[in-house]
Structure 1
Amino acid sequence: MPVHPGQLSDRDASRIAHYAADADTAGWLHPVQQALLHRRGWLRMLAPRALGGAELALPAVVRLEESIAAIDGSMGWTLTLCAGAGWFAGFLPPALARDVLATKRVCLAGSGAPTGHADAEGEGYRIDGHWDYASGAPMATHFTFNAILREHGQPLLDAAGHPRMKAFVVPAALVEIVPNWRSIGLRATASHGYRVRGQWIGRDHGFDIDPDKAREQGPLYRFPFLAFAFVTLSANVAGMAGHFIALAEECLRHRRNRFGESEALIEVPAVQAVLAECRARFDAARSRFYARLDASWEGVLAEGRVAAADAAELQALSMAWVAASRHAVDTLYPYCGLYAARADSPVNRVWRDFHTASQHALLMPHA
């Protein structure tokens, strides 16, 4: 029986886990992992159904992303960022979106930083710029990015006097990958930079990520982008943290309390209390997060929008879950011993992945 795109089977979970260490060493997802992303339709799961995507409910997508990140952070992160870029298909002109999604083994990668320019030229734009951190870059068939709009070399300004920015999608043939991803964690995401050097594209390749300007009217495309980004990224970070908590508990079962003593750390009441507190705080934050996400999704199904107050609460609860994740990982790590410092140990890989993912600018702790 085929696996539904929003589900993770035990067999697929086992495959992802089996190749995680090899992918980390190689610096890119294993071919089996890549094949799963395409075969299960996960990279299209947020794209419009009418144009060739699966258009899954957002709560199901977020739970799947958390589940995969809890097995392999690199695969979860790559899926989330690339499927998230596929969500942009709902904001593209339908003909272009259909062509993009019809691409064999389609994968969209990109960056949100406006580190390039789009100069108006005829019926399109001349693009020039450099962008960093495109997770999944080696398998991308298309790249997305934000660029500052210019005319005659001068930035176009909005009503407030700020430079106007627009999102774009271009085929990979117009892009030069810059292999500069050298992070300690999420190594297998291959989140390299990329350049576009003076390439011309038609106006239909530019789009606005705004529910009021969505080309598709399904509930997915009525969800505000910032809230969408918070819930998907935080679920990834938390998935890695949940994995770390489980591996840390295993370390506590095998590490002795003192040299020459037989008592395992897990048997020490004070250590048990620390573990229980970390789990309780993490689980409570997770429950509050999903309760709000599910309610917000029901709201967008019923009313066609997410209220500003609900979106703000979603962002706050996302950050609270990330904070609980940071607390758990940073509190439990010192109890794990030198084994956790070994680069080839699973707990070290998860620790590295977590601390790399949690550095995302959107997840910066409030000062």
Structure 2
Amino acid sequence: MKMIDAQITETVRRHAESMEIRGEMDAEVLELIYERRLFKLFSPKEVGGRMLDLPEALHVFEDAAWVDGSFGWLVQIGSGAGFFATVMEPDAVRELFTPHEFYIAGSDRPMGTARKVRGGYMIGGTWPFCSGAQHASLFTVTCRIASNDMEDGRVRAFALTPEQISVEKDWNAFGLKATSSHTIHVADAFVPESYRFNVTAPHFHFDHPVYHYPFTAFATANIASTAIGIARHFFEAARAHIDGKKAGWMDKAPERYGNVDRLLEEKEDALLHARKDFYDAVTASWDTHLDGRPLDSYHLDAVVHCSKKVAKAGLDGAQALHRHLGMEVLMEDHPLNRIYRDLHVASQHGLLVDHAGKL
């Protein structure tokens, strides 16, 4: 059975406008996610996860984002955090990853302090942009350790439960509004030693090839697949929009429809070509990885480069096309407007931005 099927598509899109207004996922949508284990694509099967191979999961992320940007973003972020299963203590993973309503929100920014005490740490700090903060069953934060031993100053991650977190509802971006990507605050919360982990030093307690794949390329590809799905949705919705306008445009300005039609085809083709390059790069790296050969800079650079390239193709195409679609799409409650805004926000992630100016 296709993981992102007609039922999910209908349910999510039916709630999309109201979710954007409320700034969070609808309960019916969340329950579908939990039933399908869409937040557990990279979680071990031992704790109820699906544990997919990377290329398979990327297609699920793309399909989810094609349905709706906020929905797809949370499926991708929630599942990506399953990577932590290999760096946390096995007993902690069994305890924290098993719940039906499992979802990890958090931040990799070292914006907190972990003061070492008997049996664990006292955590304090503030972390912005924690997607899914409204429905998370678990939070992970990154801190600098304060101690009188060799750990002093080291950066480590820690798992906290919802009752230890204060959520500040400040996510005010113009897109991906339903992701509840709020700031979280922690004040003097005790975290046991077993809830501390280091993402850069995997233990492979729960082993799978995904957990051996380099994390930066893994995370970049995950986010890129989400941008692809949103861009595909934009071009599909734009096609329906201009076809609906065809008769009126042909009557008033016969050249308009042909011009916009050609532009859409050109930009969509550019996206699809970049999409093919992206999946080719991921597949080549994954096959090399499965063969037991080390992934060199050639493979990893290709994944990162193609991720940035496909995000740019989608964003540039949407930007070029949007201004030709008429006044209606400027209204925030127009579906194309929401998709357009979601694409901008997803593509703004630092891992997808060509900071070096090479694209």
Is the pair's TM-score, using the shorter chain for normalization, greater than 0.5? yes
User: What residue in structure 2 maps to residue 139 of structure 1?
Assistant: 135
User: What residue in structure 2 maps to residue 184 of structure 1?
Assistant: 174
Cα deviation code 1:84-142 (max 9, x no counterpart): 12331122111110001223412111112211111222232111100111111111111
Q: What is the CA-CA distance between 1:55 and the residue it aligns to?
A: 0.8
User: What residue in structure 2 maps to residue 170 of structure 1?
Assistant: 160
The one of 52, 60, 83 equivalent to 1:87 is 83
TM-score normalised according to structure 2 size: 0.92
User: What residue in structure 2 maps to residue 345 of structure 1?
Assistant: 334
Q: Which stretch of the first structure deviates more once superposed, 304-313 or 55-64? A: 304-313
* Aligned mates of 2:192, 2:265 — CA distance in 1: 56
User: What residue in structure 2 maps to residue 360 of structure 1?
Assistant: 349
* Aligned mates of 1:278, 1:64 — CA distance in 2: 23
The amino acid that maps onto 1:75 is: F
The amino acid that maps onto 2:279 is: Y
* Aligned mates of 2:249, 2:38 — CA distance in 1: 47
Q: Structure 1 residues 97 and 207 mapped into 2: Cα distance closer, same or farther (>3 Å)?
A: same
Contact 2:66 2:232 (C-alpha < 8 Å) held by counterparts: yes
SS of residue in 2 equivalent to 1:32:
helix
SS of residue in 1 equivalent to 2:159:
strand
SS of residue in 2 equivalent to 1:147:
strand
* Aligned mates of 1:188, 1:212 — CA distance in 2: 32
Contact 1:52 1:98 (C-alpha < 8 Å) held by counterparts: no
* Aligned mates of 2:293, 2:131 — CA distance in 1: 31
1:285 aligns with 2:274: yes
SS of residue in 2 equivalent to 1:351:
helix
- The alignment's C-alpha RMSD in Å is 2.2
User: What residue in structure 2 maps to residue 265 of structure 1?
Assistant: 256
Q: Structure 1 residues 135 and 59 mapped into 2: Cα distance closer, same or farther (>3 Å)?
A: same
Q: Structure 1 residues 104 and 249 mapped into 2: Cα distance closer, same or farther (>3 Å)?
A: closer
* Aligned mates of 2:10, 2:202 — CA distance in 1: 41
Contact 1:319 1:363 (C-alpha < 8 Å) held by counterparts: yes
Identify unmatched segments of 5+ residues in structure 2: none
Identify unmatched segments of 5+ residues in structure 1: 158-163
User: What residue in structure 2 maps to residue 315 of structure 1?
Assistant: 304
Q: What is the CA-CA distance between 1:153 and the residue it aligns to?
A: 11
TM-score normalised according to structure 1 size: 0.90
Contact 1:253 1:265 (C-alpha < 8 Å) held by counterparts: no
Contact 2:110 2:142 (C-alpha < 8 Å) held by counterparts: yes
SS of residue in 2 equivalent to 1:216:
coil
1:216 aligns with 2:206: yes
* Aligned mates of 2:341, 2:243 — CA distance in 1: 22
* Aligned mates of 2:100, 2:46 — CA distance in 1: 17
Identity of aligned residues (%): 26
The one of 23, 32, 39 equivalent to 1:36 is 32
How many residues matched? 355
* Aligned mates of 1:333, 1:104 — CA distance in 2: 41
Q: What is the CA-CA distance between 1:154 and the residue it aligns to?
A: 11
Q: Structure 1 residues 98 and 154 mapped into 2: Cα distance closer, same or farther (>3 Å)?
A: closer
The amino acid that maps onto 2:303 is: L
Cα deviation code 1:55-82 (max 9, x no counterpart): 1111111101111101110000111111
Q: Structure 1 residues 207 and 308 mapped into 2: Cα distance closer, same or farther (>3 Å)?
A: farther
Q: What is the CA-CA distance between 1:329 and the residue it aligns to?
A: 0.9
* Aligned mates of 1:41, 1:365 — CA distance in 2: 33
User: What residue in structure 1 maps to residue 195 of structure 2?
Assistant: 205
User: What residue in structure 1 maps to residue 221 of structure 2?
Assistant: 231
Q: What is the CA-CA distance between 1:258 and the residue it aligns to?
A: 6.4
User: What residue in structure 2 maps to residue 160 of structure 1?
Assistant: none
User: What residue in structure 1 maps to residue 316 of structure 2?
Assistant: 327
